[in-house]
Structures are given as structure tokens and as C-alpha cells.
Structure 1
């Protein structure tokens, strides 16, 4: 056991974040932490990393275990250069060995200027520098809070591969569903102060969570049925009540005191938009320079009334610049931007607008409107907040009391509630939880207007965008009619081809004569019995999977069963390869 946390309690004021939570981490565990914003994901990571003390419970790190932690907003020495930051704390020998790797990782993360002072980096660049520092240092436990934020598509693919090869234990919070599916082997969900752990990838988590919730509902239906029968028995008449069984009366009271599983509120919002005329936004031969470098050059574009456009490209290429031109927050250096008279833009920028920390949440929404028109009728500001998972008990709280993710959700609500007919979204997946993103994706499917989104989230773009604009960074904007994943694959293939060294031409050699290999007596005996061994391994795998389903609530047992499952799969794969090898040399081939 590398790290263990037992009976963790944590609250802020009268709000309980974590209640009697336990968590255990073994070498090789790669855990993705999910949950609605504000439920305590980042708090849990800070407690596991030792950056914050719990109100109760214990956290233990085995002696000699090296832990690296990257929070969402790392505290860095602004006087360091980028390379000094990454190598800080390493001895002279370790520093010499790590410098090449540090430069490689920094380049992959878009920070090739190694002598640049940290104080001159943007917020996203600082987070990438902190991530590079954690990856360079040898660690047994790696804890990452939203590591994919502020990474472009190429960087995310690279980090995905790096973490899959990482041999230590990993705990991370991320909204990237493809990332969760491909990197982690456990999901931990923070919900209502509790922690539910599921072995497997993200898809397995969704299935097992649905089964857990259905089981809880079935148990509640049974409790209600028993309670109704007991109530009828208790109410048979005052004359008989005095002679009734004391134990049965106590059982009835106990059943009545119980509470069933809380019905999870689903974030949902009916379409809110205003009428959009024939003309939307048009760019005519638009050019724009930034920092003396032209990022958009002679670009023509017409936004359709029901368009769904994704803007993609490397960090710093000019994606947000293009979105700013469409939003009207930036003026072109050359060319013209023409906007239709009925266009009402809703602009969800990367940074939240200034929010008064003392203003109550409900007043923030009331500033937009006390009563808001939706496709299903008029709703109040309070009802709208409830649909966005701000219950009445929270609505009267000051904005300064909620988490960063909840502020982000509140900003998104304010943009949608203003009834735009053109939605411009700049990195909407940053700092939003998966449930909010899922409903935003569903909302965009029925939104009566045009949507343009800058994003690096593969799942989000694959689900919402019908076409892409690839901003290349040299002034070129290239239309792309395929999926975002196909765009990334094409870029990766082009990069591999450009990096591949030219091989010297060899003189053609005559083919070597084929020599037929015959199996030895021992190999033939092995071939005769190997199919039975394969069948036995397949049966063991099926039995293991059945045991996992039966032990879905026992975390310790599930860990052992998952490890056995991985070992059986490895053994079966090796047997299959050996069988195919022997079969290729058997008689008759």
C-alpha cells in the first residue's frame, strides 16, 4: 500500500464536503476522480497530497514513497526560468541526468524557451511548467488536478501515452472522458460527501454506477412496501395498540426514521434563444496580427444559422483570436466583419468576468432577469438555478463561498439565460464537471441558433461539431470536414513522417530460401495440450468477472480481483501467441 486515507472528514462552515471517506492506493493503480463541481474532488486531492489537513481521519504515506502533486493553480517562484523551475531541488548528479528529459518534456508541452522567466508566462503556461516539473522528478505517486486543462490536442495525446507508461500510482481529476477511458483503471466518484470506487475504465464505471443506483432504488421500494404494511398494522385500532409487540413497534419506528437514497438532480435546461434572421456573422478577407505575428491572414468565413463549428489547432496558434473577431471583442487589422441585425451573441470566455464575492448567487441571476423565457415556458431565477444544481439552500450564499467550478457553471448559466442566438464558447470544457458538459452537449443539440466552440476536448467536439476550422499558427485557417480525432491522427502521422530519418538505399538482395521448420516431439506435445489450457484460462476469466460483479461494493476484494483479472489476461494472451506460433509449424501448414 503506497498511500491510505481512512475515515476522512472535511467541511467548510456548515457545509460537509467529505464524510467518513476512505481511499487506498497500490502501485499500478490509476484512479480517475469524478463528480459534480463543488462536491470535493480537489479537496480530496489536496488531502491525499498533504497540502490540506482533514478535520478528522488519517492519511498515511508509506516510508520512502515519493509523491508529486500538481494543483490547478500551483504556487511557483516567478524569478525562476522555466528550466530552473523543472530542475529545482534535484542534486547535481540527478540534475545532469534529468536535463535532457526536462527539455524534451517542456518542448512537448509547448515551452521550448527554457530560459524564459516563469513570471512572464501566462496562467496556462505556468500550469504546463508545473506539470513538466512533476513528470521529470521520479515519483511513486502522482496526483494531478485537471492536467488536461490548457493543453492542446497534440499535448493531450502525448500526456495520455506518458501516463499509460507510468509505472507508479496515479490519481487525477479530469473532465476528458476519452482520457479517463484510455488511462485509468479505477474510477472514484465523489457524491454527497461519500466516495464510491469502481474498478475498470470510464465506460465500466457508467455501467456499474447505473447498477448501484438501481439497486439502491430497489432497496428503497422494498423499505416503503414494508413500511406501508407496518403502518396498517399499527393503525388497526387504539384498543389493540397497547398489546402490540414492542419489538414490532420499534421496527416500525426504525423504518420510518430511515431515509432513502437521495434522488440525484439532473442538470437540464430547455432551449433559451431569440429569433435569428437570415444573416449571421461574415468575415471578409480578415487578417489579424498578435505580438507582431500574423495569426489570421486573408480569411473568409460565413456562419450558417444552425452551424456547429469547432475551432482547433495548437496552443498559441490564434484560436481565441479568431473567436474574438467573431464576438466583436477584437477588431481586424484588415478586412471586415459583418454582423446581422438580429444577431445576439453569447460569449463564454476562458476567464470568468469579475464577480462580486459578496453578491448572492440568486441576485447574480436576477440581474439578467427575474423571469426567463424557455421553450417550455417561463421560469424564475430560482428555478433556473435549481436546474443548474444550485439548490435553494445554496442560492442565497455569497458567490465567494462556492468553488471555482461552481463559479464557472454560474457564468455559463448567465450566458445561456441571456437568450443568445449565436453561442461562442472558448474552452468550455475547462473547469466544468462531466455532468455539466454532458447536459451542455445535449442542450447544444436542440439550441435554436449557431454555435462556435474553441476546444481541445475530443469527446466534446466529436459530439457537437459538424465541421472544424483548423488554425495553423502561420496565418492559415484550414476547413476540416472530419472528426477532431481524425484531425489529430492526421497531424500525428504528418509529424511522424517529418521526424522519420531517411534510410539509405540498399542493394536488392535475392530472397533467402524458405526452410520448413518441423515441431519437435516436446513442441508437438505442447501444441496438443495448449487448447485445453486456453479454455481453462477463459473459464477462469469468466469466473473472475462474475466475482467482480458480486463484490461490487467491496473495494479491497475488487482490487485483488482486478489484479488477478489483469494477470489472467496477460497469461491468456501469451498462450494464444504461443499456440499460433506452434500451429504455424505443425503438419499440414
Structure 2
């Protein structure tokens, strides 16, 4: 039987009148990898914060196995602004970082009384390799300036530093809140493989469904303040959730039929209000409440009329753009077709968002132009477009744009009905914006873009912070959208469902126009990379020597944490060995030693000379890297 790592029993959490979840129970055993799914605002992040001890709860119990090593990646991590990236990796408060800090204190104090015990503990915990491990993982996450101040990092870079901090501590149980946010496709796939190879137990919130499918073997869903558990990956969850919703819809029909009969009885207002009548009235209200809950939990589908769009959409003509030595576009030409759905992919920093901003007129090209058709009506969802008045109510934000939304075919929705399609229940619509979660604000922003009835949607990272339910609604909407779409996204599942071809940015103004979805592009790219590698190996002479540049690169490296400690120890040890050698030489020339003593001390001097030569050579080697 698997070892229990965590057991949660009858956990309840509320904020005032809002109950997030009530009497939920679940456990995590050794080796389990669980994905947590729920709508935004229903308690995913709150639950993770409770488990990490950052949030209180109303009732219930949470029990971790004694001495369990747990690491938590927050959605919005914080570090002191004045420390460096590498220093942030030594602030995790784990046993390893604490013993390193203790070693530093002892070395600085000069009192080496307990040094042997500390060194032994560092060997057991592999603390000597900690810095090198940190640098390797930071490099994989495209953080290469280890001395950069935290205050100088973007939000995405900070999240990646926090992720590295979690991974290098080598915990037994890892809790991750949206780990793939701000990761480009290569980094996401690296993390996916890393977690698949590791023996970690895992509880994770993510909207990346391919990531969820490949990493997690179980799903926990929070719905209607309760949890539902599925012993399978995301694909299995979809199948079984559909079964659950079908059963629930049948319950809705039965509840509504019964409700109509009971409502008719209630309207007749029977004169006798005896015990049986009162019990029936109470049962009516319970039934009404249940039917309402079931209706609110049902799936939604949104179809909107797209305004007319002509044959001319936009044409990019000989466009150039660069920032210093960084080239984004170079003599770029493109004619966008009517009803085209284009995906833009590539690693961070290759120019995807700049391309979008040039199309929208926010960033001017260095040369060339974007010629936009007269009938084009853009709906632009940008990464930094969340600019609400936090003191407004949700319903007012939408009503300021339109009181009534025309869906076409004579169908119309009020602002309130439109918000319900995007999972804002009537009571949530009268909340102030500042009370919404990050994902709910993103969802509201999406509503404000779609409500303007655009015929050309430009979506820059729309999947960040949106829950899976909202993504499903958005995907269905975009698939049936009677207009043009450009999507910049790292969400592979989303891209596969929405776009019909790609522009793949690979940096230095290299752009591949690929006819297909993301999965087809990755398969093509893997074949191209393999062919290129085989060609390179065939063309490379067998006796070719390593380039001088490799040596040059090596010479520029810095000492690792372990090497720094070794250098400090050699610096202190070599003078002591020299002193011992000098003392032995004095004793041997005194003329007072017996033959046996002379032989022993002579042998010791010989050992010392070899030892000093070896350690001095190593000291000189290390000193070159300082």
C-alpha cells in the first residue's frame, strides 16, 4: 500500500457568505500525481494556500506525514527586491539551505569546533552540489544572469526563479499553482519531461491540458462546493465528467418536472397548514434550491454574430523591425486571408507580441507597412490589457459597453445573461472588480473584448490564468466564429483546437509559415532537427579538434559553490602544512633525534612536500576562475 503523504478531512472554507468548499476530503499518497480542476473563483488557489499554511480554514483537518519535504510554487511569488537570482535560490528554508547557511556562519566566525559535523551533514544532503544544481535548472528556464537583482526581473522571470527554487530543493511532495504560466513551449516541454522522469508526488493547478494529461494520473474537480475524484488523466476525466453531467442533466429534468407539480400545489395555497403540508412546503423550497444549483452548474455555449468583413483583411509589405542587434522582422511579407485562423508560436523574446503590436498600430515598424482593410473591426485581447476601475461592479463594466448584445438571427442577450455565459453567476455580477480572482478578471476582460462584436480577434496569450471551463467555452466560440483570428499562445491544446496554420518565430527574424496545427508543426520540426543533426555529423571530419571557442567559454566560467568552499579551505590549509614542514625541518637539524625519529619525520616531510605540491597546484587552478 502506498505511503500516505497528506490527508485532508472535512475541510470547509468560506469568505463571509461565500462558501468555496464544504466538508471536502481527499488524500495524496506516495507517487500520486493529482491535477486540481475548477472554475476561477471557486477555491483552487485558496485550497493550495491552505495546504501550504498561508491561509486559514474554517473547519476540518490537514495532516502531513512527519518529516515530509514539501515545496510550494505560488501563483504570484515574492522575494526581497535587493537580493540576486542566485541568492533567492538559497532562501527556500529547506534543510539543505539551512546547513549551507550554518556552514557559512562557522567559516566566517573562525570557530571550527562543530565543522566536522556540519561537513558530514553537507555530504549526506549533497549540499556541495546545490549551487550547480540551481544554475542548471535556472539555465533550463532561460534565467542566465545569476547576479541580476530580483527587482529587475519581469513577472514571468520571477515565476521561473520561484519554479527553479522549488525544483532544486528535491522535495517529496510538490504543490504547483499554474507552473506553465510565463513558460515558452520549449520550457513547458522540458518541465513536462522533468516531472515525468522524477519520482515526486504532485498536486497541481494548471490550464495546460496537454501538460495535465501527460504529467497527472488522477484528477480532483471542485464543483458545487464539493470535490469529485477521477482515477485517470485529463482525457479520462473528460469522459467521466461528461457521464456525470449527463446524469446531472437527467436530475435537472426530473427536478424541474417535480418542481412544476409542487409549484402548482403551492399556488393553490391549501387552507389546511398541518404538519404534512408544512413538510411539503419545506421540501418544495429544498427542491427549488437544488434545481437552481443544478441549472447553474450546467454547461454553457456562446454563439455570437460576427460583423461583416470584406475580402481585404491586412497585408504586410516589406516590414522591418529590430531593437538594437535583436531582429524581429526582416523584409516580412504576408497577405492575410478572409476567415483565416492563424497561430503565432515561438520562444519568449522572439518578437511574437511585438508583431501583434505592430499590426494593432501600437508599435511602428522601422520600414514597410501593415495595410488594413476598411471593414476590419479588431477585438484585441492583450497581455497587459487589464485596466478596470477596481471599484466598479462586474455588471457595470459590461453595461458601460453594451446593455444588450446582438447574437444574430434575432437573438439578443442582456449584459447579465452574457456574463452568465462566461460563468459569472448573478450574485457574482454584483461583486466589485477588486474582489475577483486573477482568473476571473481575465475572464471579465475577455467578455469586454467579445461584447464589442469584432470581426477580427487578436488574442495575445488569452489562456494565461483562465480556467479550463472558460477555455472550453472560448475554444467553441472561436471554432464557430465568423471572422478572422490571430492567437499568440503557449497552450498547445488550445492552438490545436483553434488555428489552422502557424507562424513560428525562432528568433533573429526567422519565421516559418507552417500549414497545420501545433502538434503537426512539432512533428515536422523534430524530423527537420533530426535530419539537420545527421547532415552535420556526416559533414563533420572525424579528426576535427574541439574549437578554441569552447576552451574560451570554459575559461569564463565562475567557481561553483563547492569549488569556492574548496578554495577557501585550501587557502587556510596550505600555510598550516608549510608551517608543519618548517617545524619538522628545524627538529631534524637539532641533532637531538634518534634514528627512528629521524626516519619518521623524514617520511612525514616527504608526504608533506607531495601534499603541498598537489594542494598548491589545485589552489592555483581554482584561483584562475576568481
Look up the match of 1:340: 373
Distance 1:221 1:339, change over 3 A: closer
Question: Cα distance, 1:9 vs. partner?
Answer: 1.5
Distance 1:248 1:383, change over 3 A: closer
- SS in structure 2 opposite 1:162? helix
Structure 1 residues not aligned, in runs of 5+: 507-589
Separation in 2 of the partners of 1:408 and 1:175? 13
Look up the match of 1:510: none
Separation in 2 of the partners of 1:225 and 1:417? 35
- SS in structure 2 opposite 1:150? coil
Separation in 2 of the partners of 1:256 and 1:335? 67
Is 1:278–2:281 an aligned residue pair?
Answer: no
Look up the match of 2:188: 156
Look up the match of 1:136: 168
Look up the match of 2:479: 445
Deviates more, 1:270-279 or 1:39-48: 270-279
Question: Cα distance, 1:81 vs. partner?
Answer: 2.2
Question: Cα distance, 1:230 vs. partner?
Answer: 10
Is 1:349–2:353 an aligned residue pair?
Answer: no
Mapping 1:503-514, distance limit 5 Å: none
Separation in 1 of the partners of 2:244 and 2:510? 50
Out of 25, 28, 42, the position equivalent to 2:28 is 25
Separation in 1 of the partners of 2:310 and 2:246? 46
Question: Cα distance, 1:122 vs. partner?
Answer: 1.1
Mapping 1:560-579, distance limit 5 Å: none
Separation in 1 of the partners of 2:399 and 2:231? 44
Is 1:191–2:223 an aligned residue pair?
Answer: yes
Separation in 2 of the partners of 1:28 and 1:256? 45
Question: Cα distance, 1:87 vs. partner?
Answer: 3.5
Question: Cα distance, 1:391 vs. partner?
Answer: 2.2
Look up the match of 2:143: 111
Whether contact under 8 Å (1:266, 1:389) holds in the other structure is no
Distance 1:116 1:199, change over 3 A: same
Separation in 1 of the partners of 2:381 and 2:401? 15
Separation in 1 of the partners of 2:9 and 2:419? 35
Look up the match of 1:98: 130
1:488-544 CA-partner distances (Å, limit 9, x unpaired): 3444566678889969999xxxxxxxxxxxxxxxxxxxxxxxxxxxxxxxxxxxxxx
Structure 2 residues not aligned, in runs of 5+: 101-121, 543-626
Mapping 1:22-61, distance limit 5 Å: 22-61=25-64
Question: Cα distance, 1:250 vs. partner?
Answer: 5.8
Distance 1:292 1:194, change over 3 A: same
Out of 67, 72, 75, the position equivalent to 2:78 is 75
Deviates more, 1:383-392 or 1:418-427: 383-392
Deviates more, 1:406-415 or 1:432-441: 432-441
Question: Cα distance, 1:262 vs. partner?
Answer: 1.3
Separation in 2 of the partners of 1:227 and 1:247? 18
Is 1:394–2:394 an aligned residue pair?
Answer: no
> How high is the TM-score relative to the length of structure 2?
0.74
Look up the match of 1:213: 245
Separation in 2 of the partners of 1:185 and 1:491? 28
Look up the match of 1:120: 152
Question: Cα distance, 1:399 vs. partner?
Answer: 0.7
Separation in 1 of the partners of 2:260 and 2:440? 40
Whether contact under 8 Å (2:304, 2:406) holds in the other structure is no
Look up the match of 1:428: 462
Whether contact under 8 Å (1:267, 1:436) holds in the other structure is no
Is 1:409–2:409 an aligned residue pair?
Answer: no
- SS in structure 2 opposite 1:443? helix
Out of 448, 464, 469, the position equivalent to 2:498 is 464
Question: Cα distance, 1:225 vs. partner?
Answer: 8.1
Whether contact under 8 Å (1:350, 1:428) holds in the other structure is yes
Question: Cα distance, 1:180 vs. partner?
Answer: 1.4
Whether contact under 8 Å (1:234, 1:249) holds in the other structure is no
How many residues align? The count is 503
Distance 1:104 1:490, change over 3 A: farther
**Structure index of larger Rg:** 2
- SS in structure 1 opposite 2:89? helix
Out of 70, 83, 87, the position equivalent to 1:84 is 87
Instruction: Give the root-mean-square deviation of aligned CA atoms.
Output: 3.1
Separation in 2 of the partners of 1:139 and 1:499? 36
Is 1:375–2:378 an aligned residue pair?
Answer: no
Mapping 1:462-541, distance limit 5 Å: 462-492=496-526
Out of 347, 356, 362, the position equivalent to 1:314 is 347
Distance 1:435 1:336, change over 3 A: same
Question: Cα distance, 1:186 vs. partner?
Answer: 0.9
Whether contact under 8 Å (2:252, 2:294) holds in the other structure is no
1:373-392 CA-partner distances (Å, limit 9, x unpaired): 22242322122112222222
Distance 1:117 1:488, change over 3 A: farther
Question: Cα distance, 1:317 vs. partner?
Answer: 0.8
1:262-314 CA-partner distances (Å, limit 9, x unpaired): 12243432224322122212111111123541222111112112010000111
Deviates more, 1:264-273 or 1:282-291: 264-273
Distance 1:431 1:423, change over 3 A: same
Separation in 1 of the partners of 2:465 and 2:310? 33
